[in-house]
C-alpha cells in the first residue's frame, strides 16, 4: 500500500484534480467529512489528510511514503525528504509587507539599522532571509492571521504568503518585497523511495504526465 499525505485547505482541491488526471481514484478524497484518512477504490492507496505544515513531518518520519506540500512549507520545515516533482499548482508568493501609514517609518529603521519586529508563520525562512541581508530583526511567530501583527502594533512587518493580494489590500497593508514563488511539490520519504521505488516512481511519472498535459492544453 502507498501512503500519501494530502494537505487540507486550498491545496487539497488541486491535488485531487491532479490525482484524478493522473488516472488514480480520488473519489474518497472529495467527500466532505471529518475522516483523517481514506482509501482508494482498489485499496492500494491510503490518503492521509493533514495540516499543510504537518505533511513533510509525516513523510520524513515514514508515516507517509509520499506527500503534496507547498515549497514554502518545505523550506520552512527543513525536513529530510526527497523532492520529486514540481506540480506547478497552488502558486503563491512569499512576501514582506507593512502598513501603508508605516512604510516610511520602516524605511527609516532600515537606514539606521534598527531592530524590526517581523510577524510570521515562517520563522526559519524569515531568519535566513534577514541574516543574508545582515539585518537585525525580532521574529514573532504567529499561527493565525499574520496580518494582525502590524494592525495590533506587535510588529512593523509581516512575512507571509499571498496569492491575489486581496487580504493585504483589505487590511491596508502594502507589499515591500517579493521573497519567493511557491508551488506544490511531490515529496518522498528517503527509505520508502528505495523500498517502494516502483510504486512511487510510477506515481511520479503519471503525475508528471498529467502536469505536462495541463501545460500543453494551456499553450493551445
Q: Kindly report the CATH number assigned to the domain that includes residue 202.
A: 3.40.190.10
Q: Is 48 helix (H, G, I), strand (E, B) or coil?
A: strand
pLDDT score recorded for residue 3 = 97
Average pLDDT, consecutive stretches of 10 residues, N- to C-terminus, the chain (220 residues): 94 94 92 87 92 96 97 96 96 92 63 76 96 90 92 93 90 92 97 97 96 86
- Residues 77 and 99 occupy one common structural domain: no
- Residues 97 and 86 occupy one common structural domain: no
Give this prediction's pTM.
0.89
- Residues 87 and 97 occupy one common structural domain: no
Angle at 180 between CA 179 and CA 184, to 5 degrees: 150
pLDDT score recorded for residue 104 = 65
pLDDT score recorded for residue 15 = 94
pLDDT score recorded for residue 186 = 98
Q: Find the domain containing 164 and state its range.
A: 92-181
pLDDT score recorded for residue 114 = 62
pLDDT score recorded for residue 112 = 45
- Residues 20 and 51 occupy one common structural domain: yes
- Residues 188 and 204 occupy one common structural domain: yes
* Total of domains in the chain: 2
- Residues 60 and 114 occupy one common structural domain: no
β-pair type (66-70, 2-7): parallel
β-pair type (37-39, 45-50): antiparallel
pLDDT score recorded for residue 107 = 58
Amino acid at each position: 500500500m502507498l501512503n500519501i499525505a494530502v494537505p487540507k485547505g486550498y491545496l487539497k482541491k488541486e491535488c485531487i484534480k491532479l490525482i484524478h488526471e493522473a488516472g488514480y481514484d480520488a473519489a474518497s478524497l472529495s467527500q466532505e467529512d471529518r475522516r483523517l484518512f481514506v482509501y482508494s477504490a482498489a485499496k492500494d492507496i491510503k490518503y492521509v489528510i493533514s495540516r499543510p505544515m504537518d505533511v513533510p513531518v509525516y513523510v520524513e518520519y515514514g508515516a507517509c511514503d509520499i506527500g503534496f506540500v507547498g515549497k514554502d512549507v518545505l523550506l520552512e520545515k527543513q525536513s529530510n525528504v526527497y523532492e520529486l516533482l514540481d506540480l506547478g499548482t497552488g502558486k503563491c508568493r512569499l512576501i514582506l509587507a507593512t502598513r501603508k501609514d508605516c512604510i516610511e517609518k520602516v524605511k527609516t529603521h532600515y537606514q539606521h539599522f534598527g531592530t524590526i519586529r517581523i510577524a510570521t508563520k515562517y520563522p526559519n525562512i524569515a531568519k535566513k532571509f534577514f541574516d543574508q541581508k545582515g539585518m537585525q530583526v525580532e521574529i514573532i511567530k504567529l499561527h493565525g492571521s499574520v496580518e494582525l501583527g502590524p494592525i495590533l502594533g506587535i510588529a512593523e512587518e509581516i512575512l507571509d504568503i499571498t496569492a491575489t493580494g486581496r487580504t493585504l489590500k483589505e487590511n491596508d497593508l502594502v507589499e515591500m518585497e517579493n521573497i519567493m514563488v511557491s508551488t506544490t511539490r511531490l515529496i518522498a520519504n528517503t527509505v520508502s523511495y528505495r523500498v517502494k521505488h516502483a510504486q512511487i516512481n510510477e506515481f511520479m511519472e503519471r503525475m508528471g504526465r498529467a502536469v505536462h498535459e495541463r501545460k500543453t492544453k494551456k499553450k493551445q
